[in-house]
Chains A and B, each alone.
Chain A
Amino acid sequence: MKHWWLGLIVAAAAVLHLLVPWTPLAELNRTAPDSAWLLLTEIRLPRTLLALGYGAVLGMAGASLQALFANPLASPDITGSSSGAALGAVFASYWLGLTSPLLLAAAGASGALLALAIVVILAGRRSDPSVLLLAGLAVALASGAATSLLLALAPSPFAFYDSFDWLMGSFVDRSLPQVAVALIPAAACCILLGTRRRALDLLALGEDVAGSLGYDPRRLAIDVIVLCSIAVGACVSVCGAIGFVGLIAPYAARRLTRGHPGQAMIPAAMIGSILLLVADLAVRFGPAGRTIPVGVLTTVAGAPLFIWIVVTMRRRVTA
């Protein structure tokens, strides 16, 4: 394991995330140890696991999509798959009346897959970075608008209100079964994506070279797109869409792998976990009585970084 120290930081961040704020936990432990245990396992643990797992999914999916599209700006949110997943989950929940978390996860995955498929059809697999961005933007806008429309016209008059916490990206008040529904398929997909590391590194030399060395680029593309869609869709159906982590984590990870896009996948997963754990810790220190969805924080913090990447890319092109 080359980047073991990242694993240590992940573990430290997870423990911190589980135990902070410490005071209520310690006090409860003094008065009612059973309740303290419940607080830890039923309320805090699901939240920690979701931050850890969803962060890893975003890092991994972002890194593999960037490697696949040969584009440092690709990510689950920018290719429209996160918003496609949200649309799928909203449709299944408010229009089909599905309540089973597993079916909602399947609907999320289908939405993500559909969105990503449309982007690939519009932009092609290895197009100009800006074409992919535009196609992703179009799909993200369209599915965002469709989601709002479905919520506005939903049979339930409270759809808009109660979807807010869900779709803005939050780990609060999720149950362990929901965690399982999000993270078991996501973990399986991440492991399978991880086995494509070498193929995605070779894709850096072009599709023809990868193909001549025994990695069929078409099959690789389908594998990556399907696996990313399932992983992202399952997480979005439980926590909503979270932006920018899938863009930033691989960007940082490639600095550790001397630019190799495939090798960056596992470090990107770990950096994604760290980012979401820290972000979700940070929102606990917001104004008392108010909850800031963690997705809002990542977007606020991530947008300037995104702009910076765009600017450095432009410089590279004009230089």
Chain B
Amino acid sequence: MTSLLEARGLSLHGRLLPTDLDLAPGQLVALVGPNGGGKTSLLRALAGVERTSGHVRVDGEDPEASGPGRRPYLTTFLPASRDLVWPISASDVIALGLPMPDPRRVSNLIDILELGPLAERRADQLSTGERARVLLARALAPKPKLLLLDEPLSNLDPYWMLRLLEILRQTTQQGTAALVALHDIDRVPVFDRAILMDGGSLAADLPPVEMLDSAALAYAFRIERSASGWAVRRSADPQSSP
């Protein structure tokens, strides 16, 4: 298999057990798991923010060995935090994502994310949902080969949740692989593949529909299918579960 991402033995002390992961080009992958399951730790280790051991190759290149001028073209990371301290305009925040100035790419992203009226406003004074779009645009800006997104859908209204998934689909159709951490497991079916993190390790790696029906997911989240969608699993017995 030709993999775009090849990660081996990634670990983070106390939070992520040694984990291998391969992603194919163009794959849109959902990363799910309970709070504290290790989704963010896996993303951070892949992004090279923090890691105890292991190595990452993106399209055969080691992002950490490549300099700041090259690395954004290989991979970008959107953390879950939406905090901004400085009074920088939305369009300038997007431009910061590019190693080289490219005003056309910035205005292109402003159009895609419908940020036109907000582009010159201070990004730190936008609403959380608006800021989330600006920060996502920053991560998309260099057209990286691998996108690592932590909770990009949180704080978004229904229109933007759907629109963002469309944008991610369009991005992956151009060959980018995207690993997207989610809380809302009902969004999983639009992805190509679903990965479940639990207890700091990769608990399941399945096609999305199978993931939703899997015992692993029900066990990890302590929920079960019910007539109205999902319900808390009352009869949970840790001894008898997988």
Contacts and interface: CB of A to CB of B under 8 A. Distances in A.
A, B assembled together: yes
Interface of A: 70-71, 198-199, 201-202, 204-209, 211-215, 254, 258-261
A205 B77 contact: no
Contacts of B122: 259
Contacts of B50: 211
Nearest to A69: B85
A204 B79 contact: no
B41 to A, nearest CB: 12
B176 interface: no
Contact of B71 (A207, A214, A259, A260): A214
Interface string B161-187: 000000000000000000000000000
Nearest to A214: B68
Contacts of A212: 47-49, 71, 75-77, 148
Contacts of A202: 96
A205 B81 CA distance: 10
Nearest to A264: B86
Contacts of A214: 63-64, 66-68, 71-72
Interface residues of B, number: 32
Interface stretch (B87-95, B106-114, B152-160): B87-95
Contacts of B148: 212
A260 B86 contact: yes
Given A213-B71, A260-B92, A206 B86 contact: no
A206 B93 CA distance: 12
A70 B68 contact: no
A215 B66 CA distance: 11
Majority-rule SS of A interface residues: helix
A215 B68 contact: yes
Given A204-B85, A205-B84, A213-B68, A258 B92 contact: yes
| 6 A-B pairs closest in CB distance | A214-B68, A212-B77, A212-B47, A259-B87, A211-B49, A214-B71
Interface of B: 44, 47-50, 63-64, 66-68, 71-72, 75-79, 81, 83-89, 92-93, 96, 122, 135, 138, 148
Given A208-B79, A208-B81, A212-B77, A260 B49 contact: no
A319 B84 CA distance: 16
A259 B64 CA distance: 29
Contacts of B84: 204-205
B86 A261 contact: yes
Given A204-B86, A208-B47, A212-B77, 11 more contacts: A204-B88, A205-B84, A207-B49, A208-B44, A213-B72, A214-B71, A214-B72, A254-B86, A258-B88, A259-B88, A259-B122
Contacts of B49: 207-208, 211-212
B47 A259 contact: no
17 contacts: A70-B85, A198-B68, A204-B84, A204-B85, A205-B84, A205-B93, A205-B135, A208-B77, A209-B77, A211-B48, A213-B68, A213-B71, A214-B66, A214-B72, A258-B88, A258-B92, A259-B87
Contacts of B86: 70, 204, 254, 259-261
A266 to B, nearest CB: 17
A213 B76 CA distance: 7
